[in-house]
Amino acid sequence: MANNKSRKAFMVSILIGILLTAGASFLAQTGTVFPQQGSRTLPEKEKEQSSQTKLGRLLSTAGLRMGTALTTHNAASYREVRLSWKSLQKPNSAGLVTEQELASTGVLKQLSSVARNGSLPRERSMELAPDRLLVVAVDENEAVRWWRLMIDPRLVRAEVGSATEMQSQNFYLSDVDFIVGCPDDPRLRELRFFHPAWNGESFQLTLVGATPLH
């Protein structure tokens, strides 16, 4: 009797194993995936819309509004703008300076603007940081039609301290040339550059320069 019960239990466990294996094989072949509880990946379109909404609120504090975004990822050409940025320094500062030694004003000058074959990548996330710049392109109605985030071109990261206690510190060049790629669209009138500063609760935009698009 005990042998019969053991045999039946053994057969049942084998049958369950076969069913589980067959079910897993079926799900793998059909590509069925069960979502993990508590995890959710935002679709690309929803992520872009969230970034647009966040940017719109931020730009409103700088007196700008969002317009219809330009499609750039499948364009035949883009515009390459070369710029010179001379930042004013506070007294008694020279060479590489700290952020505190930079004045809030400077001179941004366009050196060249040429059309290039190709397209621009699509901006999908709005991750602001004090070491980045927010670049926007506005049309004749002062509406923002395109934007991108870029590392501050003046930034130089250096390791300072003793040989045993090195740490990374940010320094800045007061005079630098850099390139920005933007849409090659006749409706765009101006590029504006903003520095996002963290005030302890939120980011605030400070206009650091602008250049016409032509």
The C-alpha atoms of residue 110 and residue 98 are separated, in whole angstroms, by 25
Tell me what percent of the residues of the chain surpass a pLDDT of 90: 39
Average predicted confidence (pLDDT) for the chain: 79
Look at residue 100 and tell me if it is in a domain: yes
Inter-CA distances, 25 with 14, 16, 28, 30, 178, Å: 17, 14, 5, 9, 55
Look at residue 35 and tell me if it is in a domain: no
Predicted TM-score (pTM) of this structure: 0.72
Q: What's the confidence (pLDDT) of residue 66? A: 92
- pLDDT confidence bin for 44, thresholds 50/70/90: low
Look at residue 24 and tell me if it is in a domain: no
SS3 track for the chain: CHHHHHHHHHHHHHHHHHHHHHHHHHHHHHCCCCCCCCCCCCCHHHHHHHHHHHHHHHHHCCCCEECCCCCCCCCCEEEEEEEEEEEEECCCCCCCECHHHEEEEEEEEEEEEEEEECCCCCCCCCCCCCCEEEEEEEECCCEEEEEEEEECCCEEEEEEECCCCEEEEEEECCEEEEEEEEECCCCEEEEEEEEEEECCCCEEEEEEEEEECC
Look at residue 17 and tell me if it is in a domain: no
Look at residue 18 and tell me if it is in a domain: no
CB atoms within 10 A of CB 176: 16
The C-alpha atoms of residue 179 and residue 50 are separated, in whole angstroms, by 28
For range 54-77, the mean pLDDT? 89
Question: What are the tens digits of pLDDT across the range 4-29?
Answer: 555 555 454 544 544 445 444 444 44
If you average pLDDT over each of 28-37, 71-80, 100-109, which comes out highest?
A: 71-80
Look at residue 168 and tell me if it is in a domain: yes
Look at residue 14 and tell me if it is in a domain: no
Q: What's the confidence (pLDDT) of residue 93? A: 61
Tokens of 75: 């364009």
Tell me what percent of the residues of the chain surpass a pLDDT of 70: 74
Question: What are the tens digits of pLDDT across the range 196-214?
Answer: 988 888 889 999 999 999 7
> Domain total for the chain?
1
Domain that holds residue 72: 64-212
Look at residue 156 and tell me if it is in a domain: yes
Checking if the pLDDT of 57 tops 50, the result is: yes
Which amino acid appears at position 135 of this protein?
Answer: V
Q: What's the confidence (pLDDT) of residue 162? A: 65
